[in-house]
Amino acid sequence: MFARFQTIRPTPDTDGPEAGRHELTDVLRRHAGYSGAYYLVSGPSALRALVTLWSTEEDARLAPERTRAAFGGGPRPVTVEEDTVYEVVDDEAGTAGDADPDVAAVVVFDGPFSDAARTAADRAHRRRILPALRSLPGTVRLVVLWDRLARSFRVLHLARGPAALDAARDTVEATELGEDEDPALLSPPDRVERWDVAAADLPVARAVRS
């Protein structure tokens, strides 16, 4: 699976965000390989983030072109500030995995990671960090994204209510390094961004659950 992470600012003359989300979701659902989306909002600012999930890297990269064509090829009603395609290297459901999230933490590791540091980070995520966060009350989903060009990570912690996000840092710091983990190869995140989840569209996951 692949993901596209975009941060955007709507232009002042655009329709309300809810109408825009519904229209965009209808278009995305017609794209090949579409596997879902999270619409994120940064507090009171106009900044938005769109995280879309795709079956293949090609589908993820072609999505903007297909969306523009579906809207008639006109100018975008938003300003795109960041647009990155990631490989989804880990995807774990949490204790609230059947619920829709209403908050998200985006943990950013800018890198670039060497091969050894990337291996160490993968090991830490899979053996310590994801299991610890997965067990927190309110955790909905944990998604680890890898950008092979920038050699950087993003980790999405999607949750019900801020309590799970508040507990995340202490929970991770309380985990003990394994005997085969080298602290010199492990880096703290460069930043942790908090977002509200305005909407989630997960047709594939819901079809599996039903």
- Sign of the CA dihedral running 18, 21, 22, 23: positive
Confidence at residue 11, expressed as pLDDT on a 0 to 100 scale: 58
pLDDT at 12: 56
Q: How far apart are CA 113 and CA 120, in angstroms?
A: 10
Q: Which residue has the higher pLDDT, 153 or 209?
A: 153
pLDDT per position as a tens digit, 159-208: 999 999 999 989 998 999 988 899 999 999 999 999 999 999 987 554 33
Residue 45 has pLDDT above 80, yes or no: no
Q: Residue 55: exposed, middle, or buried by beta-carbon count in 10 A (0-12, 13-18, 19+)?
A: middle
> Do 48 and 9 form a contact (C-beta atoms < 8 A)?
yes
Query: Taking a C-beta distance cutoff of 8 angstroms, is the pair 9, 46 a contact?
Result: yes
Q: How deeply is 97 buried, as exposed, middle or buried, from its count of CB atoms within 10 A (0-12, 13-18, 19+)?
A: middle
Q: What is the pLDDT of residue 8?
A: 85
Q: How confident is the model at residue 80 (pLDDT cuts 50, 70, 90)?
A: confident
Q: How far apart are the C-alpha atoms of 56 and 63, rounded to whole Å?
A: 11
What are the pLDDT digits (tens) for 113-136?
999 999 999 999 999 999 999 999
- What angle in degrees, to the nearest 10, is found between the helix axes of 57-70 and 17-28? 120
User: Could you tell me the pTM of the whole model?
Assistant: 0.88
Range with lowest mean pLDDT among 43-47, 81-85, 110-114: 43-47
Rounded average pLDDT over 25-44: 90
pLDDT over 80 at 137, yes or no:
yes
What pLDDT, on the 0 to 100 scale, is given for residue 73?
66
pLDDT, tens digit (0-9, with 9 covering 90-100), for 46-77? 689 999 999 999 999 999 888 888 877 665 55
Q: What tokens does 207 get?
A: 């079809």
Place of tokens 């002042």: 12
Collapsed DSSP state (helix, strand, coil) of residue 27: helix
Q: Which fold has domain 2-201?
A: Alpha-Beta Plaits (3.30.70)
